[in-house]
């Protein structure tokens, strides 16, 4: 069942190139220059007439929603709000009949997300689901949807569900951008070609596994860890922190890199490892200066950098390289080393990686 891997989580991390290829199948038609998604095509007018998109989800799926917010607003120029489903359902939200609500859920069984969907439907919104489990409750309750086709995810810590959710949402954003004319033809085709290279780039990112193991060994006994990222990679920082918390029980927090000076910088001393996503595209110089601030306070720096980077390497205690890609797609590669880092730390600490304490794979209670 685990295909030779020690844990489902590791198997699922390594499945990401093929899972994303499955997400693309029949949808990403690079040679024809089209993205085909029946759930979007059949409801194109609803999407194009939407004044805004509201995304509801929990946990890792909520992080995928945050990445999607950046992608939708950047490419399709549609305002997006991302809400924790649990908050949305209890705060009398303003939802209009011309809003599109996207609910993201790997299991399709999360009680809070289901309740948010029901509320949005009562208010007349069109609800689109992004689920992994075919025939799940949420996939049946939504008006339309697109499956991630990641295959079964057994590990409680979500990995391939996250990257395939981002993949589906990117396809939708590009499709809408094309239909709206908010992206040029050249840019659209460039994005399609680049999407096609992502599974191969994730393979390359996975090749850092042994190097990441060494970094994990070095930091496995810390009590706290900070994760920083900016722009498209800010939600990746949140996701990296969640992965570490869930399976290793180390306290971790994710922050937008520039927020550090508004509080968290006070935590930094020689005991504090800081994982910084500092890829070349996306506010690189600003992130490098954040790294300098951490270094001058003796913080330990683990940089997630673009292949061939030298500036961060000079400052950091460790760097982990990922292949270059266009900025909007960087989360798909920068996520990989963070998954591996938390996996190895948890294994070294002897934790139950696939079934961490107090957690269930699908949270069907409030």
Instruction: Give the residues across from 318 on adjacent strands.
Output: 302
Q: Tell me: does residue 335 bind ligand M6R (CB under 6 A).
A: no
Interface residue with ligand M6R, options 156, 195, 202, 312 (CB under 6 A): 156
- At closest approach, how far in Å is the CB of 109 from ligand M6R? 7
* Residue 113 vs 164, nearer CB to ligand M6R: 113
Is 51 one of the annotated active-site residues of the chain? no
Q: Tell me: does residue 58 bind ligand M6R (CB under 6 A).
A: yes
* Contact present, 129 and 142 (Cβ < 8 Å): yes
Per CB under 6 A, the segment of 121-129, 155-163, 259-267, 268-276 that binds ligand M6R is 155-163
Q: What would the two tokens of residue 17 be? A: 């190139």
Q: Tell me: does residue 137 bind ligand M6R (CB under 6 A).
A: no
Interface residue with ligand M6R, options 16, 23, 60, 142 (CB under 6 A): 60
In residues, how long is the chain? 366
- At closest approach, how far in Å is the CB of 65 from ligand M6R? 10
Q: Tell me: does residue 328 bind ligand M6R (CB under 6 A).
A: no
Question: In angstroms, rounded to a whole number, what is the distance separating the alpha carbons of residues 47 and 100?
Answer: 7
Q: Binders of ligand M6R among 97-136, rule CB under 6 A?
A: 105-107, 110, 113
Question: In angstroms, rounded to a whole number, what is the distance separating the alpha carbons of residues 56 and 104?
Answer: 7
Q: Binders of ligand M6R among 253-292, rule CB under 6 A?
A: none
Q: Tell me: does residue 349 bind ligand M6R (CB under 6 A).
A: no
Rg (CA), the chain: 20
Instruction: Tell which residue, 219, 199, 170, 192, has the closest CA to residue 320.
Output: 219
Helix/strand number for the chain, H first, E second? 15, 12
Per CB under 6 A, the segment of 2-10, 57-65, 184-192, 330-338 that binds ligand M6R is 57-65
Q: How far is CA 23 from CA 16, 155, 190, 281, in A?
A: 10, 19, 19, 25
Question: In angstroms, rounded to a whole number, what is the distance separating the alpha carbons of residues 160 and 21?
Answer: 12
Question: In angstroms, rounded to a whole number, what is the distance separating the alpha carbons of residues 168 and 22?
Answer: 11
* Residue 178 vs 245, nearer CB to ligand M6R: 245
- At closest approach, how far in Å is the CB of 140 from ligand M6R? 15
In degrees, rounded to 5, the angle at the alpha carbon of residue 267 between the alpha carbons of residues 265 and 268 is 70
The residues binding ligand M6R (CB under 6 A) are 58-61, 105-107, 110, 113, 156-158, 242, 246, 359, 362-363
């Amino acid at each position: 069942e685990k295909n030779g891997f020690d844990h489902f989580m590791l198997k699922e991390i390594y499945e990401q190139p093929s899972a994303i290829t499955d997400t693309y199948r029949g949808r990403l038609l690079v040679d024809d220059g089209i993205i085909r998604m029946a759930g979007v095509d059949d409801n194109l007018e609803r999407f194009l007439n939407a004044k805004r998109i509201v995304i509801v989800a929990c946990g890792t799926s909520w992080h995928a929603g945050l990445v999607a917010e950046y992608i939708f607003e950047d490419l399709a120029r549609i305002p997006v709000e991302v809400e924790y489903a649990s908050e949305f359902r209890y705060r009398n939200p303003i939802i209009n009949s011309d809003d599109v609500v996207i609910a993201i859920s790997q299991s399709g069984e999360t009680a809070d997300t289901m309740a948010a969907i029901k509320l949005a439907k009562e208010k007349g919104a069109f609800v689109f689901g992004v689920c992994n489990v075919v025939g799940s409750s949420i996939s049946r309750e939504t008006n339309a949807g697109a499956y991630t086709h990641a295959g079964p995810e057994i590990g409680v810590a979500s990995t391939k569900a996250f990257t395939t959710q981002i993949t589906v949402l990117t396809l939708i954003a590009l499709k809408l951008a094309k239909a709206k004319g908010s992206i040029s033809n050249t840019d659209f085709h460039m994005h399609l070609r680049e999407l096609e290279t992502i599974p191969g780039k994730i393979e390359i990112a996975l090749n850092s596994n042994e190097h990441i193991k060494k970094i994990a060994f070095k930091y496995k006994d810390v009590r706290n860890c900070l994760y920083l990222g900016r722009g498209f990679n800010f939600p990746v920082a949140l996701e990296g922190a969640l992965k570490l918390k869930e399976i290793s029980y180390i306290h971790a927090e994710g922050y937008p890199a520039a927020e550090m000076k508004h509080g968290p910088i006070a935590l930094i001393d020689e005991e504090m490892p800081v994982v910084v996503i500092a890829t070349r595209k996306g506010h690189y110089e600003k992130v490098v200066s954040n790294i300098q601030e951490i270094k001058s306070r003796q913080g330990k720096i683990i940089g997630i950098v673009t292949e061939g980077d030298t500036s961060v390497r000079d400052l950091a205690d460790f760097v982990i390289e990922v292949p270059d890609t266009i900025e909007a797609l960087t989360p798909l590669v920068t996520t990989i080393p963070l998954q591996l880092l938390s996996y190895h730390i948890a294994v070294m600490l002897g934790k139950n990686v696939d079934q961490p304490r107090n957690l269930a794979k699908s949270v069907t209670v409030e």
